Structure 1
Amino acid sequence: MTGQCSLEDYLQRYSETGPLAVAVAAAIDAIAVAAVDIAELTGKGLLSETSTLATGRNSDGDLQRDLDVRADAIIRRCLGKIPIAAFASEEARDVEIRDPHGRICVAVDPLDGSSNIDINMTVGTIFSILSAPDHFADCFRQPGTAQLAAGFVTYGPQTSLVLTVGDGVDVFTLDRASGCFRLVRRGMLIPMHADEFAINASNRRHWDAPVRTFIDECLTGIDGPANHDFNMRWIGSLVAEAFRILTRGGLFLYPSDARPGYGDGRLRLVYEAHPMALIVEQAGGLASTGYQRILDLSALSLHQRVPLIMGSAHEVRRIEELHCDPLLIASATAPLFARRGFFRV
Structure 2
Amino acid sequence: MQGLAIIGPTQVGGLLSAALFGCLACQSYLYFERFTSDHIALKTIVSAVILIQLGHFACIISTLWTMTVSTYGDPSRLDVLPLAADIAIPLSGFTVFGVQSFYAFRLWRLSGNVFLPILCEMLSVVAQTSTLILSARAVSMTDITAFEDSQIVLIALSWIARGTCDLITTAGISWSLKNKRGSDFRDMMAMIDRLLYWTLETALVTSLMAIIVTVLFLAQKQNFVWFGVWLMWPNVVGNSLLASLNRRLLLREFRRASRGDAQSHDSGSNAIMFRAGPGATQSRTDSLENLTNRDVEAFQEAGRLINQDQRRVSKPAVVHMRACVSTNDETHC
Please indicate, yes or no, whether the TM-score normalized by the shorter chain is above 0.5.
no
Instruction: Work out which structure has the larger RCO, using CA pairs closer than 8 Å and 6 or more positions apart in sequence.
Output: 2
Give the structure-1-normalised TM-score: 0.23
TM-score, normalization by structure 2: 0.23
Q: Which has the larger radius of gyration?
A: 2
Q: Indicate the structure with greater strand content.
A: 1
The structure where helix makes up a greater share of residues is 2
